[in-house]
Chains A and B, each alone.
Chain A
């Protein structure tokens, strides 16, 4: 398996524009997590899905952020409109829970810069 795949790796956009980040989890994993990492706040859990259903979105900072998982192999995190304070590295991770939790496998991340 190629691991968790995120795209794009880098995104530079102007304030007010819509940004869409994409994630392909590891095949067979039924949990998907979106994290945001900044120097100030560290690693924050934004939202997570189980079997494509959002379970907890309490970490989503504002209504400008939305996430979807239309099927087991794809998820998006959208920011509309984007603001400079959204600049961060966004990580997607996937895991599974069979007889016990697996660890979370992380993608390479998307470095977002909003100017």
Chain B
């Protein structure tokens, strides 16, 4: 069965600090991977996605993620965070079979100190 683990529940950083949020998935086949962001009171929006090709994926707002197949990981990174990055971040996976469903991790709340 598909599953997604986000190990960091709440991360607190100061502005300009570097960010890395962990995401590990479980699925025995080809996957598509996503990171979503949810700003306070809003819906989930796509940050970036990996389907195939270059395992280093660049998204919006300076975010990037690296797919490491051998580690079943898809960690999110940003070299220098801003106060406006305060939000909740969700990793999601979908297996390539037609019967797959999009499964989300439990989310990581990111708080940025100004």
State the A residues within 8 Å of B (CB): 33, 35, 42-43, 45, 48, 50, 55-56, 91, 93, 95, 97, 100-101, 103-109
Of B49, B96, B101, most buried by chain A (CB within 10 Å of CB) is: B101
* CB pair A42 B92 closer than 8 Å: no
Size of the chain B interface, CB-CB below 8 angstroms: 24
Residues on A with beta carbons closer than 8 Å to the beta carbon of B32: 100-101
Residues on A with beta carbons closer than 8 Å to the beta carbon of B52: 100
Tell me, yes or no, whether B82 is within 8 Å of chain A by CB: no
Q: Least Cβ distance of B48 to chain A in Å?
A: 9
Q: Least Cβ distance of B33 to chain A in Å?
A: 10
State the B residues within 8 Å of A (CB): 32, 34, 36, 42-46, 49, 51-52, 90, 92, 94, 96, 98-104, 106-107
Q: Least Cβ distance of A33 to chain B in Å?
A: 6
Residues on A with beta carbons closer than 8 Å to the beta carbon of B51: 100-101
CA distance A48 to B106 in the complex (A): 19
